[in-house]
Amino acid sequence: MTTILRPALSLLLLMTLVTGVAYPLAVTGVAQLAFAEQANGSLVRDASGQVRGSALIAQPFDGPQWFQPRPSAGAFATVASSASNLSAANPALASRVAETATLLKSQGQGAVPIALLTTSGSGLDPHLPPDAADWQVGRVAAARNLPEQQLRALIEAHTDRPLFGPPVVNVLALNRSLDAQARVAKM
């Protein structure tokens, strides 16, 4: 019995150390050396060094002066990140989308882009299609007393065109740019 049990327990201990300790430490070390910014959450900091968000995670913005991200099924909480998992035939999804559309349509901006009505797969996607950002220009321009063309140029400047996939706008980067312009204008 000992001849079978001892090697089995030894192998279990060895594999636990290799796969549960050594490998994760090695991967973490390589990530910290080669990709420190990404490994630490792609944090976005202001001029004073305070963390303002992550380039990879959406966050809510309050007020008409900000571009809004996609809705979040988990209230933008990273712990609860996930899609709503409601099917297209589910009345709860239809109700939520209709309610959101009604809120957004009251701003008088025409048909609401689908990206502003539906959550992403993770519930935390920081990107919007350019047309969804452009749809918000009238509201943001009125709230900030800025010309719409200036905001459209800002959207264009913050539009990423990846090699594969559609163009996207990072809402946090766009709003930070708006904030920076407001600070410069006050000076």
Kindly report, residue by residue over 25-67, the tens digit of the pLDDT: 999 999 899 988 878 777 878 778 888 777 777 788 888 888 9
| pTM above threshold 0.75 | no
Q: Would you state the pLDDT for residue 51?
A: 81
CA distance 150 to 52: 24
- The answer to whether residue 82 scores a pLDDT higher than 60 is no
CA distance 72 to 51: 21
Q: Would you state the pLDDT for residue 114?
A: 82
Please count the helices (runs of H) and the strands (runs of E) in the chain.
8, 5
CA distance 181 to 185: 6
- The answer to whether residue 18 scores a pLDDT higher than 90 is yes
Report the percent of the chain where pLDDT is more than 70. Answer: 87
Mean pLDDT of 123-128: 80
CB atoms within 10 A of CB 127: 25
E strand intervals along 10-142: 43-45, 51-54, 127-128
User: Average model confidence (pLDDT) for the chain?
Assistant: 83
The number of CA neighbours under 13 Å toward the Cβ of 175 is 24
CA distance 134 to 172: 15
Q: What is the DSSP letter of 139?
A: H
